[in-house]
Structures are given as C-alpha cells and as structure tokens.
Chain A
Amino acid sequence: MIEASHLSRTYTRGDGTPVTALRDVSLAIAPGEFVVIRGASGSGKSSLLNILGCLDTPTSGSYRLGGENVSALSDNERSHVRSKRIGFVFQNFNLLPRATALENVELPTLYTGAAPDHARARQLLAQVGLDGRADHFATELSGGEQQRVAIARALMNDPPLLLADEPTGNLDSAAGESVMQLLTSLQREGRTIVLVTHDEHVASFAEREIVIRDGVVASDTRRRERVQA
C-alpha cells in the first residue's frame, strides 16, 4: 500500500534558516495493516502524515501509494489522489458546522464529478451508528458523534487508505473507545489504517507501531499478529 523511501522534508523558517522535520525516513505498509505512528510533538510525525496523505510533498525521497509514485505529482493530481484513495480523520473532526451530518458525509463526492449517492451516505451513517442523525447539523452532535460522521465522510469515496491524526484526542474515553472499535472494524473490511497518537491505549489497537524521533524512525515494532480480514 505504502512504500516510502528516504523521505526528507525541510522547511524554511521565516528568518530563512532551514528546519529539517524528516530525515531519510523509509517505511513500507502493507494493504490491510493497522499501523500507529507515535512520537513527541515536533518529532516529525505530522510532517510524515502530511506526506503520506498527499497534502505535502517530500523535499527528497520517493513515496509510492498503491504502486504509483505520488511524490512527483502536481497539486491538482494530488487532490485527485486524496479524493479517491485517502480518507482523513482529524483530531478536531473538521466537519462543516453549517452543514448537516448527511451533507458532511457527501462532501467528498462534490470533487469526484460523480452524482451524490444519498443512499451510500445514509448507509455509511448507519454503519457508524448515526442513522437517526442524518439531518442534524454538525454543531448539534456530540464529539463522539461528530467523529463518527467524520469517519463516514472519510469512507464516502471508498478509499483503501485511512489516515487518522489523534482521532480520540478530543473525546472522552467512552467515545474514544467506540471510535477505536469502529476503526478496528474498518480494518477488518480490508482498509489500511495509519493512525498518529500519543495515547498508549489507542496505540494498543494497532498491530504495528512506528516511533518517530527527531525526524527519523526510532523503532518499528510489531505489537501483535495481523488481524486477518
């Protein structure tokens, strides 16, 4: 699914001095894996997630997603890759507040050129346990509900890869637990899940843990055997 080799990412600060966020990171993630990336803040894990999510491009190195070299793509082409092949789940949910749950779930279809598939959006809401909430505005939902809407949104275009950045960071433990159960069930469907977290308990849901420190991979350990689909 993911083959990253020798990824480096250097930013230029306001005063012109370069800052290296990632240094020669190589990793491979197989389809259907549930991988957690851990690291202190400033370790470079967010930079890595941005590159894996095709929101950013590496300064050097190559990133292949599903066999295609996406590190050389244009901004437009990366938009299309995100549209079709990557679903994002954010710490702060990032729903459109003035839109309903259903409209939020359907948002990704706006950029595929396909007609909005209301039935699929409703089915996804049912899958995340929110079939009664389709017409509620995002602001009327609890944090846990918002995050489940966000997960349904990430699934709308049926991407093989889900990237989650501290998905339980803003949730109480019960809501966090149900979100993690949901992600685990999605892995069982065969989706590849890459999750960034500080939380040891959240990390325990993953089968593999990559630790980033000072822009390099400090460790890459298998926590348990792969859950077979």
Chain B
Amino acid sequence: MSGLRVIGAAWRSLTRSKLRTFFMMLGVAVGVAALTALASVGEATRQETLRQFKRMLGTFDTLTIRPGAGSTRGMPSVSTVEPSLKFADGPAIAEGVPGVLRVAQVQQTFDLDVSYRDESVVPLVLGVSSNWADIRDEAVASGSHLTEEDERALARVAVIGADVASVLFKGEDPLGKVIRIADVPFQVKGVMATRGAGPGGASLDNMLVIPVTTASKRLFNRDYLSTLVVQLRNEGDSDRVADDVRALLRERHRIIPPAEDDFTVSSPRATLAQIQQVGSTLSKIVTGVAAIATLIGGAVIMSLMLIGVSERRREIGVRRAVGATRADILAQFLAEATLISALGGAVGIVIGAGGATVGALLQQLPPAYMWSMIGGAVALSLAVGIVFGLYPAWKAANVDPIEALRS
C-alpha cells in the first residue's frame, strides 16, 4: 500500500466523521496556537526590551561603575550617593586595566530647576566628560557635543535633550541661547537626537548634559562621581575587565578583606541577561502549560482513536479479509492520527500567529514570530500524532479478523 494512498484513505476516513475529526484536532490546535502565540508575543516583548535597553545604555560594550555596595535603590544622584568614586578613578582604570578603551566620568542629579525665560523644567542633569557622548553613541540633532576644551575650561555650556528643548523653547532655536541651571547661566551648544523611551516607558529625552568639571566645581561642588562608564576594547572581555576593575578600585580605595566593595560594577549584558532570565522563566512556564495543552490534545486523539478502533472493528476485519496485513492497518490508523494532529497543528499555527499579531498590536509592538517555536510546534504536533496514534493503531492492527467479522 503506497504512502499516498495511505494518506488518501486516512483523509477520506477523517472527512467522513467530521465532528470527531474536529474534536481530535481541537486539543492539538489549542495547544499549538497557545504555544505559537505565547512564544511570539514573548519574542516581541523580548525584542522590545532589548531595544529599550539599547536606547537607555547606548551600547553594550561598556561596564558601569557606581558608588555603594550595589543595593542602592532608584536613580543615584550626587546628593544621595556615597562619596567613594573619585574623578581620579577614571584615568586610573583607563590606564591600569588592559582591555579598557576609555572611561567616561558622570555626575548626575535630577532635582535642579532649569529655566529659560518663564519656562522651567526639572530634567535629569548629567555632568559628563567629553568622551561620554561618543561612548554612548549619542547623536546631536543640531549644534555640537561637549568638547575636551569645554571640559578643561569649565565652560558653562549645555547640550539639551529633545524634551527639554521642546518645553523650554517651544519651537524657537535653542542654539546659543542662555538657560539657567539652578540659577547658573549656561549656553546651549547642542540639542540631542531623540532617544525614545527606556525600560518602563519613561522618556529618555528629559535630560541635559554639561561638562563634568563644570558640574563638579560650579554647580554641585562635589569631587566624587555618581557613575563611571568604562568602554571595553572587546565586548567579550567584560567579565575579566570587571574583575580587574574591581581589584584596582579595591586597591585604590584601600579596601581590605573582609570589608566589602564600596562600589558596584555592572555590565549591561549581565543586567539584560538577568531581565531576560526572568522573561525566559516566565516563557518556560507558559511554554510548559501550552505543551501540556498539546499533550492533552494528544490524549484526546488517543481516546477518540481507541473508541474509533472499537467502532471500526468490522471495517478492520473486512480490510484484513481482503488482504490488508497488520502493518497496513497500523499504517492506516497511524496516518489518520498523524494527519489529524498535523492539521490541528496547522490550524493552531494560523490561530496562534493571528493571536500573536493581535497581541503585539495591543502592546503597540511590532509583531515578532518566533519561527523556531513555530517549527517546534509543527514537530510537536506530528510527534503527538505519532506517539498518541501508535497505541490505538497497534490495537487496530491486532484486531482478530475472525472475531471482528463474526459480529
């Protein structure tokens, strides 16, 4: 009996008991739809998280060093952090740790009034070294970035974020205008390109940057930093560089065991991995549930097939009488189970992909389809058909034709 005729016979048999076929398909379809939809929605969310992270951090080839032992909550600010991270730590890391390309110094605060004429905002104010924009891959929409000369001269210049520009200047060209940061006048020398939303959806454009030296001496009057951004020569090096940075800073800060670090080194990759770890744990659970749904679908196929086998004993007997071998009967019933499961899987993929699209649109994300998961769903539905069809098919193949024909 040729493969094509087996499938043809299976198809005819399925189309002639549509209701049963529908129920057999249902479980697998639901399972595969859930698997496809959840995996794809999860993938869309993951990709969006990645995009948001990239926007917030600029690049992934960096390490971030913050003062304090790591358990600080919320945004560190010069007024709230431990004064453990010094300006000199920056050059020391850049020169003392192999694999480090450059180090940016950052002081930040978010409690200063910034005003232009009658308008005022309270943005995130960053004092940054001149290499900061370059490390973070920040672009200016107009004007220019801070320079080394600005840094050396303690220049009172600022590069403002898009939100700050739009609130303070309302369409007026901000370049060259003088704004007041905590009543200290600064000239706007650039407007940053829009950065969009970070994780959590908050705007990343409500900020401005000034030279870190100016911030330290003229605004904050502090000689410690809120952040050091270490750019690596080679992204793959980040664990080793982090260890070296840690060792160097402990030495510089004269920390002797068992005292703990007075700073925290984190890599965006590690943070992202952590977030994605949480995401993937969730998606594993969800995937598990969907897989169980598919297995239940398989169990439905098996039980309905078993009922089918006992109802079709006479058919089996007739087929045996006219020359079907046990293998022919096995192949027929296995083909029916596999075909039904594959059809259920196909329906499930269509529904699931549709659901994923709707889900992504509701979250206002570009839809993403996790093809590996869809491929897995196809394989799973075929496997379910074969595995759960095997026992009923074996039962069918072992129906005694004499008994079956007697009834």
Number of A-B contacts (CB under 8 A): 72
Q: Which of A53, A75, A95, A110 contacts B1 (CB 8 A)?
A: A110
Interface residues of B in 50-94 (CB under 8 A from A): none
Which B residues touch A32, using CB under 8 A? none
B1 touches A113 (CB 8 A): yes
Which A residues touch B318, using CB under 8 A? 94-96, 107
Q: Is A55 an interface residue (CB 8 A)?
A: yes
How many of chain A's residues have a CB under 8 angstroms from any CB in B? Answer: 29
Q: Which of A56, A75, A88, A103 contacts B322 (CB 8 A)?
A: A88
Q: Is A226 an interface residue (CB 8 A)?
A: no
> Which B-chain residue is minimally distant from A93 (CB atoms)?
B318
Binds A, one of B5-13, B160-168, B230-238: B5-13
Where the two chains meet, the residues of A that have a C-beta atom closer than 8 Å to any C-beta of B are 46, 50, 53, 55-56, 75-76, 79-80, 82-84, 88, 90, 94-96, 98-99, 103, 107-108, 110-113, 153, 156-157
Q: Which of A94, A110, A157 contacts B324 (CB 8 A)?
A: A110
B323 touches A75 (CB 8 A): no
Which A residues touch B328, using CB under 8 A? 79, 110-111
Which A residues touch B9, using CB under 8 A? 110
Q: Which of B5, B16, B17, B402 contacts A50 (CB 8 A)?
A: B402
Known: A55-B401, A56-B402, A98-B16. A111 touches B323 (CB 8 A): yes
B323 touches A53 (CB 8 A): no
Where the two chains meet, the residues of B that have a C-beta atom closer than 8 Å to any C-beta of A are 1-2, 5, 9, 12-13, 16-17, 314-315, 317-328, 401-402, 405-406
B405 touches A110 (CB 8 A): no
A82 touches B327 (CB 8 A): no
Cα A80 to Cα B325 in complex, Å, equals 8
A110 touches B5 (CB 8 A): yes
B322 touches A108 (CB 8 A): yes
Which B residues touch A53, using CB under 8 A? 321
Shortest B313–chain A CB gap in Å is 11
Shortest B211–chain A CB gap in Å is 85
B322 touches A107 (CB 8 A): yes
A111 touches B402 (CB 8 A): no
Which B residues touch A50, using CB under 8 A? 402
